[in-house]
Amino acid sequence: MSPRLWILAGALFLVVSLVIGALVGPVHIGFGDAFESALARIPFVPVHTPLSPTNEAILWDIRVPRVIVGALVGAMLATAGASYQGVFRNPLADPYLLGVAAGAGLGATLAVVYLRGVDFQNTLPPAAFAGGAIAVVAAYAIGRTAGIGSGGATLILAGVTVAAFFTAVQTFVQQEHSDTIQEVYSWILGRLPSSGWRDVVLLLPYVAVAITGILLHRRLLDVLSVGDEEAASLGVNVGRVRLAVVICATVGTAAAVAVSGLIGFVGIIVPHAIRLIAGPSYRLLLPLSVLVGGGFLVLADVIARTALSPAEIPIGVVTAFFGAPFFAVVLRTSRRMAA
pLDDT in tens, 197-223: 888 998 999 999 999 999 999 999 988
237: helix, coil or strand? coil
Q: Which domain CATH number covers 123?
A: 1.10.3470.10
Query: What's the average model confidence in pLDDT over 134-145?
Result: 86
316: helix, coil or strand? helix
Whether residue 330 has pLDDT greater than 70: no
> What is the model's pLDDT at position 117?
62
DSSP annotation of 116 reads G
Is the sign of the CA dihedral 50, 55, 61, 66 positive or negative? negative
CA dist., res. 208 & res. 258, Å (int): 16
Range of the domain at 282: 3-338
CA dist., res. 37 & res. 59, Å (int): 9
> Cβ distance 203 to 71 under 8 Å?
no
pLDDT over 90 percentage in the chain = 38
- pLDDT confidence band for 147 (50 / 70 / 90): low
> What is the model's pLDDT at position 22?
93
Peptide bond connecting 280 to the previous residue in cis, omega within 30 degrees of 0: no
Opening angle at CA 213, ends 207 and 219, nearest 5: 135
> What is the number of structural domains in the chain?
1
- Looking at the chain, how many residues does it have? 339
Averaged pLDDT score across all residues of the chain: 86
> Cβ distance 170 to 108 under 8 Å?
no
